[in-house]
Structures are given as structure tokens and as C-alpha cells.
Amino acid sequence: MKGVFMLVYPVKHSPLLRQPERFIARSELKSLICKMTDNLINISDETGEFLLRLDDGRVIDTKGWAGWEWTHGIGLYGIYQYYQQTGDQQMRAIIDDWFSARFAEGTPTKNVNTVCPFLTLAYRYEETRDPRWLPYLERWAEWVMYEMPRTERGGMQHVTLAEENHQQLWDDTLMMSVLPLAKIGKLLNKPEYIEEAKYQFLVHTQHLMERETGLWFHGWTFEGHHNFAKARWARGNSWLTMVIPEFIDLLDLPEYDATRRFLIQVLESQVVALAKCQDQSGLWHTLLDDPNSYVESSATAGFAYGILKAVRKRYIGAEYAAVAEEAVKGVIKHINAEGELTNVSFGTAMGRDYDYYRQIPLTSMPYGQAMAILCLSEYMRVYL
């Protein structure tokens, strides 16, 4: 009997023909995300170290899941992004149960950060048209548009639960309030909300982006006309990496749109700078230009998410995907056996010097979990 001749095609040296190599299986990513979500909704502040105590008697739980702050807003959005990609009904239930419980308790005082959960609510309303949710979306968006304090030149003043931050712009605001306003504006056919959101991106870029590097300072004050410590703070920068692709995508801005073209230039300038200061671990330092400051996981996850999405949407070049993948590897190495993302800095107010940022404590936080979930969920798309 003659042997059967088998032709073996030489493909392994061809980037176009060979099977892509992945450092982790997609099933492992899904398992990690589920474990991290379980950790997220069970995070608690057992010592009370991270409670925010206000002199009117309120005690704000910024760490536990049963609170209402920007930390929870980012957490909800991370879970929603995974649900949107997978259709996981348990994830959807976590989101809806959170809103049901919080609305039953009563909404908190309105500020930049407490607006954040309404981004996820807007997406859920878009899917369900649940009439119970519409009045909340309408009222909070009206507050952002017409009643939220403004700085000189019409920027959104970064009012928080504990501080008015008079005449201050913070880069966090674009993620926490401007993105929800844009989404609600599109959802409810309020073009004035969308134009206001576009303007906020312009005025924040004018005062917070460092022209020389493309990185962003944490804040600006019109009272002293300065950028405080001139801190190129990692998580603050990561909000920009995340929010620009989100903003362009949710508004579906066409290629000829001037705001889209401007924001893509801003994003690419930042990503070029980020590629230069990435640590060999794949992470970034909490002060991007200070290699002696600790490496920080939540910012790294945010950078990875934003870069991956921007590459996928073709807002920036595909060559930056390698930067994001190294970041994903670094993030995964900082997820412990309990599904907790380690090396996450606590919520950070405006610092007057670099030491302030260096000394922020590290702890598990809902936004750390959520930013990692966002990052891993977006990375799952490369397997499709």
C-alpha cells in the first residue's frame, strides 16, 4: 500500500496566515471578569478607614457596593460593558438591582461625581424604556446642563460631596458628568446637551492638556490661574484615554466632524506620550513622569481599555495595540486569588505637590475592579 502524501503549508512565519498567539485564553478572561465582579459587589470597608464623614452628619461609604458615588458609577459601567458583549443576565441583574436599591433609599446630593451612575442607567433605559427611570434621567441631566456651577469660561466646576472646589476644572469631570450628559442628550433628543458636552471637552483641553508632552494635568484653578502641582497623575490621565473613544463612539460622530478630529489628535498625542513612559512591568507610575512613585493598576487598566478601543474603532494606529497588550498583562498579574485588583490608589483629591500623590494609600476599590473589567472585556474582542 502506497503512503498518502500530505502537503504541509508553511504558514507559521507569516503574520497574515499563522494562528494568532494569545497569552491567555478567552475563557480564562471571562472567568477572571466574573471573579472580579463578585469581588466588586462584595467589597467592604471593614475598618471604616475610607468612610467620608461630613459635618452635617452624613457618612459616605465610597468603598462598599451599597453606596452612591463616582466609584459605583464606574463599577456599574464596567459590569454593563461586559453584559453588553456577552448577554450575561446575572450581570444585568446586578446593575438593575443596584439602581432599585439606591432609588428606594433616595438619591444623594447632586455633584459631578454622583452623576456618574446615570451613564449606565441611560444605556439600560435605552434597552428597556422602563418608565420609572426616565424622570431620574431627565432631572439629573437638567441639573448638569442648567444648575451645575460653572467656572469662568463656562467650564463645569468640579463640585464633590465634600468640597465646592470653586473655579476649579478637573480632568475627572469629563468621565463623571460630561459623558452621561452626552449620552442622555442623544437618548432624549436634546442637541443642546450634546453641544454643551462638546464644549466641555474643548474648555477642559484648553486648560488641562500639557502642550509639550500631550499628557494632562490633574486640575486647573481660575482663582490663581495655575495647574496646582502640575501633576501628570496617572488615573486622571486615564479618564481621558477612556472617555475620548467613548464620547466619539456613543455620539457616532462622523469622520468629518470637527470635534471628532480635534479629540482624536488630543488622544493620539497622549498615547504617544504614554508609550514613552510605560514601566517595564506593563503598568504606569501613579505620577507618569516620576519613576520613583508606585506603579498603579487602575490607571493602567484605564489606559489599556481606552487604547484598545481606540485601535478597534480606528481612531488611532494599530501599532499602539502592543502598548495596550503589555498593560493588560500587567493588570492580570495584579489580580489576586480573590479576584481583587491590587495596587489601586484610593480616591484622590487635588494635590498641591507631588508628595501628596506619592502618599495616597493603596486599597481595593470599586473603580479599580471596574476599570480592570472594562480592560479585560475590551481585550476579549481581539479573539472574535
Residue 124 pLDDT:
99
> What is the rounded average pLDDT for all residues in the chain?
95
* 99: amino acid identity, one letter: F
Interval 272-299 mean pLDDT: 98
Residue 151 pLDDT:
99
Residue 2 pLDDT:
60
Residue 55 pLDDT:
85
Q: pLDDT (tens digit, 9 = 90+) per residue, 301-360?
A: 999 999 999 999 999 999 999 999 999 999 999 999 999 999 999 989 999 999 999 999
Helices (H), the chain: 26-42, 70-86, 89-105, 118-128, 134-142, 172-173, 179-187, 191-208, 234-251, 258-277, 297-312, 321-333, 354-358, 366-380
Q: Rounded to two decimals, what is the model's pTM?
A: 0.94
Domain ranges of the chain: 30-383
Neighbours of 266 (CB within 10 A): 18
pLDDT exceeds 60 at position 1: no
Neighbours of 383 (CB within 10 A): 12
**HSE-up of residue 326 (Cα within 13 Å, Cβ side):** 14
Is 258 strand, coil or helix?
helix
Q: pLDDT (tens digit, 9 = 90+) per residue, 67-112?
A: 899 989 999 999 999 999 999 999 999 999 999 999 999 999 999 9
- CA torsion angle 292 297 302 304 (round to 10): 90
Q: According to the CATH classification, is domain 30-383 in 1.50.10.10?
A: yes
Among candidates 80, 47, 79, which has minimal Cα distance to 61? 47
Asked if 124 and 133 count as a contact pair (C-beta separation under 8 A), the reply is: yes
Helix, strand, coil percent values for the chain (each to nearest 5): 55, 5, 40
